[in-house]
Structure 1
Amino acid sequence: MPIEAREIEDLIRASFPDAQITITDLAGDGNHYAAEVVDPSFVGKNRVQQQRAVYAALKEKMQGSHGDLHALALTTRAPE
């Protein structure tokens, strides 16, 4: 079942309430998205740590072959 971009944003926002979040549906199919997450909590963390934190927020939707979200190209950074 496809997932809506808004649902992805809501899941990320639950863990990162102050983040700037941009979600893009890459294929128009509701399964392949790109997300950019800019959050102050990323200061001092490397990209792997940042991305693990975001993926943890989405874990339930990405688990196994039956997850609603099949592909996410993720970009994270701290605010400038």
Structure 2
Amino acid sequence: MPTRADRIRAALEARFAPLALEITDDSARHAGHAGARPEGETHYSVVLVSPAFSGMNRLARSRAVHEALREEFASGLHALALTLRAPEELG
């Protein structure tokens, strides 16, 4: 069975065709916090660079990612720390 990180990766790759994608499970750092579960897989950091973000503001990018991960939020994903960039925004 795929992990939540695997499912997040698959959903983001399908929706955004990223040039770069990093997913980090931060759940252990949030143990005891709101939304944390003993089994983990609730808090993640995502760094995503995609041409799909060109011309989109920060809020629109975040909304698009949350929409792509709607099923994960419905099944226990609690929080995402997002860094979302278009390719032209890289140094």
Distance 1:55 1:19 in 2: 19
Give the residue type in structure 1 aligned to 2:65: V
Q: 1:37 aligns with which of 48, 63, 72?
A: 48
Q: CA deviation at 1:13?
A: 1.0
Provide the aligned length of Structure 1 versus Structure 2: 75
Instruction: State the identity as a percent.
Output: 41
Distance 1:27 1:62 in 2: 14
Distance 2:18 2:11 in 1: 13
TM-score, normalised by the number of residues in structure 2: 0.72
TM-score, normalised by the number of residues in structure 1: 0.80
What residue is the counterpart of 2:84 in the other structure? Answer: 76
SS of match in other structure, 1:23: strand
Q: Flag as ranges the 4+ runs of structure 1 deviating above 3 A.
A: none
What residue is the counterpart of 2:37 in the other structure? Answer: none
Q: CA deviation at 1:50?
A: 0.9
What residue is the counterpart of 2:33 in the other structure? Answer: none
Distance 1:62 1:73 in 2: 14
What residue is the counterpart of 2:62 in the other structure? Answer: 51
Q: How does 1:18-29 map to 2 (within 5 A)?
A: 18-28=18-28, 29=40
Report which of the two has the higher share of helix: 2
What residue is the counterpart of 2:31 in the other structure? Answer: none
Give the residue type in structure 2 aligned to 1:18: P
Distance 1:72 1:42 in 2: 17
Maintained 8 Å contact 1:4/1:30: yes
Gaps of 5+ in 2: 29-39
